[in-house]
Amino acid sequence: MGAGCSRAVPDEAPTMTAIVNAGSSSGTRLPTFADVATARERIAGIAHRTPVLTSRFADARTGATLHFKCENLQRAGAFKFRGACNAIAALPEDARRRGVMAYSSGNHAQAIALASRIENVPATILMPADAPAMKVAATRGYGADVITYDRYSEDREALANTVATDRGLTLIPPYDHRDIIAGQGTAAAELFAETGPLDILLVCLGGGGLLAGSALAASELSPGCRVIGVEPEAGDDGRQSLAKGEVVRIDVPRSIADGALTTHLGDLTFPIIRDRVDSIVTVPDAALVDAMRFFAERMKMVVEPTGCLAAAAAFTGAVPCEGQRVGVIVSGGNVDVASYARFLAD
């Protein structure tokens, strides 16, 4: 049927058949802005067009004008739904019938699980055994088959490849895939459509799908905007990679930013980031807690630690923002309430 994610909201979704058939499921070519534009059409009416909010308190604190793109309010709680929906909508019919597989510490898993359910595609998800309980439960709740592994001793990519090959599933990686990167870029594209050109765009950085996609959007929609990646201090492989001009691998970092515990950028995300991203900065975990409290107290929003990376770069001065028009991607809001309460109470 190839009707894409449109079954989710039959009354308002566009027909996606033509767009779906135009795309190949191969993710190895570098994505371009045209892929972001295609993704926007594919996911329109399926992914939420999330609000862009402002805060006078935040502006006073930074001396800037901050525009928060609230992907914590996205379906499945993070921007990952954009890429997942785009990648699944692009799959050919035979691959859809066999099913998809994903490995993820959480948000990509939930996104693939939800997009698969909407698409009626079977999903198998490989998750770390110590992933937040809420994320595992949500993934299972969307109907996916969840299998677990030990993130400190097992190679998840190798394991996922083996399982996918054995079961004939299409592996959809969390960031290093053309349709994923293009889908993630739609958040920044929507932001620019709403705010017009910006001086700075702050984007959290794990494997680089969101940052690469955002950079593609900025190049076209806000040329001259400085795109800056923000990593947890404990896991600055992106910063090291940009400095060295090649992908640098680190040990699994330990940070409360559980959505950014990647060890290296991807073969696709790195060249885009190298060519289009101005710089990469880091923030300590304490600054994430501080930003989490700001979002709760001032903006009445639950934002997960990883989702606070970009805002924390503005608040700490890691990126000087005074006098600038700044886009801040608030990437997700999935944090279980017990941990959230502990973060806020500390």
- 202 in contact with ligand PLP (CB under 6 A): no
Q: Minimum distance from CB of 186 to ligand PLP (Å)?
A: 13
- 80 in contact with ligand PLP (CB under 6 A): yes
CA torsion sign for 5, 51, 219, 248 is negative
| Given 208, 232, 235, 327, the residue binding ligand PLP (CB under 6 A) | 208
> Of 16 and 134, which has the nearer Cβ to ligand PLP?
134
| Token output for 57 | 């308190």
- Could you count the other beta carbons within 10 Å of the beta carbon of residue 324? 18
> Of 19 and 131, which has the nearer Cβ to ligand PLP?
131
Annotated catalytic, 105?
yes
- 260 in contact with ligand PLP (CB under 6 A): yes
- Could you count the other beta carbons within 10 Å of the beta carbon of residue 234? 18
| Number of residues in contact with ligand PLP under rule CB under 6 A | 22
x-or-dash string of contact with ligand PLP, 157-196, rule CB under 6 A: -----------------xx--------x------------
First to last CA, the chain: 52
What is the 8-class DSSP label of residue 175? Answer: S
Please give the C-alpha separations between residue 330 and each of 53, 202, 230, 292, 326, in angstroms, as whole numbers.
10, 9, 12, 11, 13
Please give the C-alpha separations between residue 208 and each of 53, 168, 204, 305, in angstroms, as whole numbers.
24, 27, 8, 17
- 107 in contact with ligand PLP (CB under 6 A): yes
| Given 204, 234, 277, 301, the residue binding ligand PLP (CB under 6 A) | 204
Q: What backbone torsions phi and psi does residue 89 show, to the nearest 5 degrees?
A: -65, -25
Which residues have a Cβ under 8 Å from the Cβ of 275 and sit 6 or more positions away?
Answer: none
Q: Name the active-site residue from 25, 105, 219, 331.
A: 105
Within 279-308, the residues that bind ligand PLP by CB under 6 A are: 304, 306-307
- 50 in contact with ligand PLP (CB under 6 A): no
Which residues form the catalytic set?
A: 80, 105
Positions that interact with ligand PLP (CB under 6 A): 78, 80, 107, 174-175, 184, 204-211, 259-260, 262, 304, 306-307, 331-332
